[in-house]
Amino acid sequence: MRKIELKVIDAVLGGYDANLGNTEVTHANGVASVRLFGHLIAEYVTRHGDEHRGALRVWHAGYPTRTTASRINALVKGLTGVNHNAMTVRKGEPLFEGTPFETVMEVRVTLADTYGDTFSFKPLNQ
């Protein structure tokens, strides 16, 4: 994981805004937003009492590049503890968990999942 990605995760979990070169983290209304080159690529719900607290929503914002994939994978690893590359780009096609990635994906990890149980990524209905 790159140094900038560690700083992004720290800003998201620490609850502070950060402008880190091409990547920006902002917080508003209990949601941490991550932008890459000004394009929203992730939201992490931090709001206490929210049924979606801990949900990580990711998308490539129309730019399925290696940098976008790297940031998304770092967020998935750093915020959920899932240690593998969820987003890949093959022959210019974005894939998330091996399936075409054209919509927002929500990542949910429960406590049981962190101890080895399986989990799934699901597309959000827009």
Q: What is the DSSP letter of 124?
A: P
Closest listed residue to residue 97, CA positions, set 80, 66, 76, 112: 76
List, for residues 59-113, the tens digit of each pLDDT value. Answer: 888 898 999 999 999 998 888 777 778 888 888 888 887 878 776 776 665 433 4
pTM over 0.85, yes/no: no
List, for residues 24-35, the tens digit of each pLDDT value. Answer: 999 998 899 999
In contact, 94 and 102? CB cutoff 8 Å: yes
Encoded tokens for 53: 């607290």
Q: For residue 7, give Cα distances in angstroms to 47, 60, 75, 87, 95.
A: 21, 20, 11, 20, 25
The boundaries of the domain holding residue 24 are 3-123
Domain count, the chain: 1
List, for residues 36-56, the tens digit of each pLDDT value. Answer: 999 999 998 887 666 667 778
3-state secondary structure 57-94: EECCCCCCCHHHHHHHHHHHHHHHCCCCCCEEEECCEE
